Structure 1
Amino acid sequence: MKVIDLSLALLAAVCSAQASATIEYSTVTGYFLQDEAATDPSTFDYTAVNFGLIDRAYPADSEKKNHCETKTLTQWERFYNQVEKLNRDSDEDVEYKVLFLGRHGEGFHNAAESYFGTPAWNCYWAELDGNSTASWRDAALTPNGVDQALVAHNFWQKLIQEQNIHTPDDYYVSPLTRTLQTANYTFEGLNLPHGSAQFKPVVKELFREGISIHTCDHRRSKSYIHNLFPKWHIEKHFAEDDELWNGVTSETSDAQDARSVQALGEVFFSSSSKKHSFVSVTSHSGEIGSILRVVGHRPFRLNTGAVIPVLVKAEKRKDHAPAPTTTVAWTTEPHCTVPPVTSGSVCVCPSSAAPVTTPLVTDL
């Protein structure tokens, strides 16, 4: 079977799973500054405002037998009690989880896009493996990207020491190199609280970036990932080679959202799920944007290395309507075969190099 045929078959399966999903998601607002329209994503610094957790009272506070005890708890300890109360008081068809959605640090593809400009990047340079100075196929972190991940590491350690924050019960990470590295720099070596879950993330295919014709979205092999972090878990049925990227077709927003629904459905309502109410997902700007759409959160674009926590309610639907049989289509992206002529906002191929829809081949 050709790669493109296999990709379409796999995505049809994902869309079919999404169509038959029986879980509805919603964001529980009022807990984080990122939920509020007045918070500007472009200037927001999660490390300056306690991950955005709002200083407020919770219904769970009144359940403490000793009110003085509540006053001595940190905001994050009280928030943990509130999430536990929400799960404790909900029926078996409802779950609440706090998703810590972390974007990878700056990758070489991010630096290249800044250098070439977004129009030229999208229609030519991103389809190459790299140039004479850098490689961006399944891009690694730049030194600046490493520093951004270490900022997250230090901030987690600060909140562990000063706020006794409940660290993630489960860790998930996209299979692309920049996210693998970011998760490792962020969480490896933290002095975790006694009894907390150890950092052994699950590498999850469906939490990868939106799949475009850009080579930075083409993941490496399962063997490469295992050799890079041999103690990590790679989910079952993870293919040795990337069967979704083909360099010709790109995921639409609707198709990516279908994938995100499927991914979340494999995180919620699992065994002991209500006891695992804090979850870390190290992913990408586009995929985090998709997850936020799926859970009904307002758009909130993250800078490289940033993190957004979201309190999500998941509820199993009561109806049993038959699943639709349609799938979500992808789109074909034309691109230039030589460096384009560009303006500030568009990409124009030279007249001698009409746009094509086949992968570019380089010697890099």
Structure 2
Amino acid sequence: MDADPAPFLYPLEHSKILHLVRHAQGTHNVAGEKDHNALLSPEYFDAHLSPLGWQQAGDLRKQVHASGQLRRIDLVITSPLCRAMQTATQVFGSEGQIDGSKGANIDNSGISSLKCPPIVAAELCRERLGVHPCDKRRTISENRSRFPAIDFSLIESDEDILWKTDARETDEEIAARGLEFMS
């Protein structure tokens, strides 16, 4: 027997539900599973989704659409890293293509922003910063042309000024950045 749901402290109609989605498998994940030192390779700069990653994002898209959740989503926030933006546009973008272009989707068609929730890139919701080229983003001007359905207006610098070549972010720094993002 199901119990009655507990009352909310704040009325549900005035609440927002937050769903967190990690990016699908990236090419750097595949390489890193074989050899962790591969994450230091410039070959994986701002790594994109692997074929399995595209399948994972496509599967999540089907689940989101089948559940009816898409029509209840007010906003999608993504990291400005390629794999995160590819995941966000694959899952939450509309099925239409942008002028038949390949866009940033490597093997997949460009994603239209028609009939989809707004997608906004936010610098503070990135992965651990520093040292690994896969965690350094492209310039915002390049990303704007590759991801026209994404709003980059919250990012102040065209260049990636957060990523450092010689220092990896500490757990404390990540926690502080996460709190800043949520405030």
TM-score of the superposed pair, with normalisation by structure 2: 0.80
SS at match of 1:101: coil
The answer to whether residue 72 in structure 2 is matched with residue 167 in structure 1 is yes
The answer to whether residue 21 in structure 2 is matched with residue 108 in structure 1 is no
Q: Which has the higher strand share?
A: 1
For the 8 Å contact 2:92–2:116, the answer to whether it is kept is no
C-alpha distance after superposition, 1:254-311 (max 9, x if no partner): 101100111111xxxxxxxxxxxxxxxxxxxxxxxxxxxxxxxxxxxxxxxxxxxxxx
Give ranges in structure 2 of 5+ residues lacking alignment: 96-114
Give ranges in structure 1 of 5+ residues lacking alignment: 1-54, 61-81, 89-95, 131-135, 191-196, 266-364
Which residue matches 2:138? Answer: 220
For 1:228 and 1:158, locate their aligned partners in 2 and report how far apart those are by CA, in whole Å.
28
Runs of 4+, deviation exceeding 4 Å: none
Which residue matches 2:89? Answer: 184
Residue type at the aligned position of 1:158: A
Deviation at 1:225? 1.1
Match runs of 1:69-108 below 5 Å: 85-86=11-12, 96-108=15-27
Q: Alpha carbon RMSD of aligned pairs, Å?
A: 2.3
Residue type at the aligned position of 1:247: T
Residue type at the aligned position of 1:219: R
Q: Using CA pairs under 8 Å that are at least 6 residues apart, name the structure with larger relative contact order, 1 or 2.
A: 1
C-alpha distance after superposition, 1:164-210 (max 9, x if no partner): 676221210000000000001101127xxxxxx84221110001111
Deviation at 1:101? 0.4
Q: 1:181 to 1:83 in 2, by over 3 A?
A: farther
Q: Percent identity?
A: 29
C-alpha distance after superposition, 1:89-127 (max 9, x if no partner): xxxxxxx532110011110000001122xxxx2xx4322
Aligned residues: 163
TM-score of the superposed pair, with normalisation by structure 1: 0.42
Which residue matches 1:126? Answer: 39
SS at match of 1:98: coil
Deviation at 1:56? 5.3
Which residue matches 1:249? Answer: 167
For 2:118 and 2:134, locate their aligned partners in 1 and report how far apart those are by CA, in whole Å.
25
Residue type at the aligned position of 2:39: A
Match runs of 1:1-364 below 5 Å: 57-58=4-5, 85-86=11-12, 96-116=15-35, 121=36, 124-130=37-43, 136-160=44-68, 167-189=72-94, 198-265=116-183
Residue type at the aligned position of 1:206: L
For 1:181 and 1:56, locate their aligned partners in 2 and report how far apart those are by CA, in whole Å.
40
SS at match of 1:202: strand
For 1:155 and 1:100, locate their aligned partners in 2 and report how far apart those are by CA, in whole Å.
14
Q: 1:56 to 1:85 in 2, by over 3 A?
A: farther
Deviation at 1:84? 6.9
SS at match of 2:149: coil
For the 8 Å contact 1:138–1:217, the answer to whether it is kept is yes
For 2:167 and 2:59, locate their aligned partners in 1 and report how far apart those are by CA, in whole Å.
36
